Structure 1
Amino acid sequence: MPSIQVLRGRPTPEELAAVVAVLQARATDTAVPPPLPARPRVSAWADRAAAIAMRRPSRPRLMQVR
C-alpha cells in the first residue's frame, strides 16, 4: 500500500487509523476477481450436440407420415 501524506491539519492517530481502514476496505471492494479459466475445446468426435445436429431420419422421405 502506498504511503499516506497529510497535507493540512494535525489528525489524531485514531483519525488516521479510520482513514486507513476506509481506504483498505475500498481497495478490497474494487479488486477485480480473477478471470474464469477457459473451458477446454471439445473435439468434434466427443461433442454430443454436433452428433445430434448431424443425425438424419432413418426412413425414406416418401414413407414419412404427415
Structure 2
Amino acid sequence: MLDEKILLLLDCNIYKYNYTKHCFQIRNYFKVNNDSLLEELKEILKILEENEVKYIIQKDNTIKITK
C-alpha cells in the first residue's frame, strides 16, 4: 500500500490508483496517446523509485505495488 505522502506527489491524468488492488491502472486506453502515456509512466516510476517502493509492470501496463 502506498503512503498518502507518495500519492500526493503523483499527478496522474492517465493512470488511476486502485486502492483495493494496490496498483496504478490506465483509465481509458482509447483516449491515450503513446507519448503522454510514456511520460506519465516514467514520472510514476521515478517517484516510486525515489521512495523505495517496489513494483512490477504487468502486460497491460498496470503498475502493481509489491511488498
TM-score interval (norm. to shorter) = 0.3 to 0.5
Structure ID, larger Rg: 1
Q: TM-score, normalised by structure 1?
A: 0.37
**Structure with larger RCO (C-alpha < 8 A, sep 6+):** 2
